[in-house]
Amino acid sequence: MTDAFFNEMFQSGRVRPPYAQLEGWTERMPASLRSLKQAEAEALFRRIGITFAVYGEGGDPDRLIPFDMFPRVFAHDEWRKLERGIKQRARALNAFLVDVYGRGEIVRAGRIPSRLVYLNEAYEKAAAGFVPPRGVYSHVVGIDLVRTGPDEFFVLEDNCRTPSGVSYMLENREIMMRMFPDLFRGNRIEPVDRYPQALRRTLASVAPQKCDRDPTIVILTPGHFNSAYYEHSFLADLMGVELVEGQDLFVEGEFVWMRTTRGPKRVDVIYRRLDDAFIDPLCFRPDSLLGVPGLMDVYRSGGVSIASAPGAGVADDKAIYCYVPEMIRFYLGEEPILKNVPTWQCANPDDLGHVLDNIADLVVKEVHGSGGYGMLVGPKSTKAQIAAFADKLRANPGNYIAQPTLALSTCPSFVDEGIAPRHVDLRPYCLVGERVELVPGGLTRVALTEGSLVVNSSQGGGVKDTWVLAE
Amino acid sequence: MILTVNHVSRYRYDLPVRSVVQSHRLTPSRHEGQRSLDWQVRVSDGLSGGAYRDGAGDWVQAYSVPGPVSEISVEVVGRVEVTDMSGVLRGHRETIAPEAYLRATNATRADVALADLAASAGQGTDPLNRAHSLSAAVADAIAYRPGATHAHTTAAEALELGEGVCQDHAHALIAVARVAGMAARYVSGYLFSDAAGDPHEAAHAWAEVYVTGLGWVGFDPANRCCPDDRYIRLGSGFDARDAAPIRGIARGAGNESLDVTVAIGAAQQ
């Protein structure tokens, strides 16, 4: 099995250069110390309270996601290429959003089918005809990547709304530095701890038209019952901004105000961590108690900025995903640096035929699904499971896409038997404001079950610290 | 023709509320068929909020009323010069692609009966004739009867009942047009007098259907006609809720009651 997958540390019995400093690290670590460290890591995570499920996967919000102490490492050059590809994609996605809420040139040019855009559930009519400050809709773009070879990376999906998990990137590093200070002395690893300030700067750079001062930024959370609440309060803390719920804000006159002990304070930029449907009951779901009535009118008239901007979700669904390379060519006039996974759209009869003929070798996903639920991994399924799934697929083909099973790279990981290769993916967080910025690192998820290709924490996945080596 | 408008909405709360936020689409659309001569909206104790033209070309004006408050009046007074354009919305600037109006909402979702109604009318004719046939079919299928339906009645329910008001006609026409593959939307506005020449004493609503080559064309099944110089167009949306001239939310426990008077007159030229 090891030969079928790209092992990021070992190739033909040799250690790849980025991992050179880690060679022998685990051998030098006695088993007793290892279990001690593992217990220490768990205690640290518990103490800081980072127990949420990533990516809205649901499940027990108090469950701890397993932390794997073996770091995942990128060489400086590998990262520079990834960085260019990620920034390119983030630019194109934002250009697409400005376009489809404006003249829709890409649709007029016949490069993307109009129904995929205008009949998309995430297309918000209320956002049309408005260009947000600096032409940015998605201020934090989370791009999920997998690796299949030394130079082969594929984008699995884009997250343009409110991608979560960045607190893991920060905490994983913090905990590794605390537990293994020697590793950080011996390796020149790019820091990630400037992310909160970079996010703050990004948000300040998109202050609304009517803001003529140092902007007041807040994080709007649905509340403590939300699975990512820890991350919301963690980021607010590190950025030095208020964490608010809908009831803490109100609209009066041309602005949004925050209730404070010293009276109302005007708010200029809202980093919201709740979905469009809930942000303003006057405009969207009238039964929402989480939002701020009248917010959209203030936003549209330049009194407040909202990050991500309402309507940003139309750029990141799985059907639109197929057209991101086209967006890059159309808006930037460049060739995509990062590849898409070849994708069959089951809505298309030819594609559906191909998918049904080859279903045992494919991964079939729901267009709007997430968290590794509602999907079929052909090679890992029984005949009965495949037959049942094929029936669902025939009943509602438009709801599914299919992709080949990718040979995800592996990285050494701590398992019960010692160290063994386990499959990994990567989510970096690209910031888009006045500048497009990428903190060198991201969240590496690891499928801790032997042979598993599903890294979602709801399916037995864990997380790792992600290193980018300095030049 | 010049039409005068006097439209007063009075909101009363049995217990004072802490604050009220409103979003208005109460300004006549800009298109070749109509021109505002003067137009004023007054909100009692209201602070005017942000104002902007939205993607559908409607002028949106926000208001907030700080509380405690137990009564709010919204008074619209104005004069509009109107021209008969046979329902065609010409010279109206908007951003939203017509395809965006092919989506169904709860109020405009087609059931089997609506699909059958769509299939029964004007099949095989050109899009403009098809739209006329669909509008006539809706008028035949749903008799005008005030009080038979309520604000949340859906197109499917109104058709089953066979009775309704202009809102129900508009919802039903949107549903059948979409079944026929045509984008359609809800329009809110005012009507000077109905087909019989009797003065119309409430706000009015109709539908617009997108006809390739011609653009958006208004149809008023309730009056079996296309909007002419008796109509003033305010704004549009997917359905009645989306196109409401006044949307509002009050913070507080008070129950709201609403009293509306509309008077549309023809001014001497």
CA separation (Å) from A245 to A218, A303, A317, B233?
10, 19, 27, 38
Report, in angstroms and rounded to the nearest whole number, the Rg of chain A calculated over CA atoms: 22
State the CB neighbour count (10 A cutoff) for residue B229: 17
Q: Please tell me the number of Cα atoms within 13 Å of B31 on its side-chain side.
A: 29
B221 and B139, same structural domain?
yes
Q: Write down the pLDDT at residue A50.
A: 62
A382 and A258, same structural domain?
no
B64 and B162, same structural domain?
no
Interface probe with A: pick from B18, B21, B94, B186, most Cβ of A within 10 Å: B21
A46 and A173, same structural domain?
yes
In this structure, what CATH number is given to the domain that contains residue B50? 2.60.40.2250
Please report which confidence band the pLDDT of residue A370 belongs to, taking 50, 70 and 90 as the band edges. low
In this structure, what CATH number is given to the domain that contains residue A369? 3.30.1490.270
Q: Write down the pLDDT at residue B254.
A: 83
Cα–Cα distance for residue pair B205/A161, rounded to 1 Å: 36
Tell me the sheet residues that pair with B72: B11
B156 and B213, same structural domain?
yes
Please give the backbone phi and psi of residue B141, each rounded to the nearest 5 degrees, phi first: -85, -25
Q: How many domains does chain B have?
A: 2
The answer to whether the Cα torsion of B178, B183, B188, B194 is positive or negative is negative
Q: Write down the pLDDT at residue A13.
A: 87
Average pLDDT over every residue of A149-174: 94
B128 and B224, same structural domain?
yes
Q: What integer best gives the mean pLDDT of chain A?
A: 91
B101 and B20, same structural domain?
no
Average pLDDT over every residue of A173-185: 92
Q: How far is CA B207 from the centre of its chain?
A: 8
- The nearest CA of chain B is from the CA of A128 a distance in Å of 5
B104 and B59, same structural domain?
no
Residues of chain B short of pLDDT 70, as ranges, are 194-195, 197, 268-269
Q: Pick from A447, A453, A318: which is nearest to A379 by CA?
A: A453
In this structure, what CATH number is given to the domain that contains residue B188? 3.10.620.30
- Of the listed ranges A87-101, A161-175, A369-383, B6-20, the one predicted with least confidence: A369-383
Cα–Cα distance for residue pair B245/B233, rounded to 1 Å: 11
ipTM: 0.95
Q: Write down the pLDDT at residue B195.
A: 63
- A312 secondary structure, DSSP code: G
Please give the backbone phi and psi of residue A182, each rounded to the nearest 5 degrees, phi first: -60, -40
**Per the CB < 8 Å rule, is A297 touching B50?**
yes
CA separation (Å) from B140 to B95, B137, B173, B223?
34, 5, 12, 11
Chain B residues whose beta carbon lies within 8 Å of the beta carbon of residue A293? 21, 249, 251
**Per the CB < 8 Å rule, is A103 touching B99?**
no
Chain B residues whose beta carbon lies within 8 Å of the beta carbon of residue A128? 54-56, 95-96, 100
Residues 22-51 on B with a CB inside 8 Å of A are 22-23, 47-51
Q: Write down the pLDDT at residue A55.
A: 44
**Per the CB < 8 Å rule, is B23 touching A281?**
no
Q: Is the pLDDT of residue A176 over 80?
A: yes
Per-residue tokens: B218: 């208004």
Spatial contact of B84 and B121, defined as CB atoms under 8 Å apart: no
Per cent of chain B over pLDDT 90 is: 90
Q: Is the pLDDT of residue A286 over 50?
A: yes
A88 and A189, same structural domain?
yes
Cα–Cα distance for residue pair A285/A422, rounded to 1 Å: 43
Spatial contact of A62 and A404, defined as CB atoms under 8 Å apart: no
Q: Pick from A6, A82, A7: which is nearest to A426 by CA?
A: A82
Q: Is the pLDDT of residue A1 over 70?
A: no
Per cent of chain A over pLDDT 90 is: 75
A326 and A227, same structural domain?
yes
pLDDT tens column, A296-312: 999 999 999 999 999 99
Cα–Cα distance for residue pair A1/A366, rounded to 1 Å: 29
Q: How many domains does chain A have?
A: 2
- Spatial neighbors of B140 by CB under 8 A, at least 6 apart, are none
Which residue pairs, CB below 8 angstroms and at least 24 apart, start in A373-381? A373/A57, A373/A458, A377/A405, A377/A453, A377/A454, A378/A405, A379/A405, A380/A453
A110 and A24, same structural domain?
yes
A351 and A423, same structural domain?
no
Domain boundary among A350, A377, A404: A404
Average pLDDT over every residue of A416-421: 88
Q: Write down the pLDDT at residue A221.
A: 96
B188 and B66, same structural domain?
no
B104 and B70, same structural domain?
no
Could you tell me how many CB contacts below 8 A there are between chain A and chain B? 104
A156 and A127, same structural domain?
yes
B254 and B222, same structural domain?
no
Q: Write down the pLDDT at residue A35.
A: 87
A313 and A271, same structural domain?
yes
Per-residue tokens: B141: 């299928």
Structural domain harbouring A6:
2-335+407-468
A446 and A377, same structural domain?
no
B89 and B72, same structural domain?
no
- B135 secondary structure, DSSP code: H
CA separation (Å) from A32 to A28, A184, A365?
12, 22, 42
A370 and A243, same structural domain?
no
Q: Write down the pLDDT at residue A418.
A: 85
Structural domain harbouring B76:
2-81+246-266
A418 and A400, same structural domain?
no
Residue linked to tokens 């079944």: B179
Average pLDDT over every residue of A407-418: 91
Residues 79-98 on A with a CB inside 8 Å of B are none
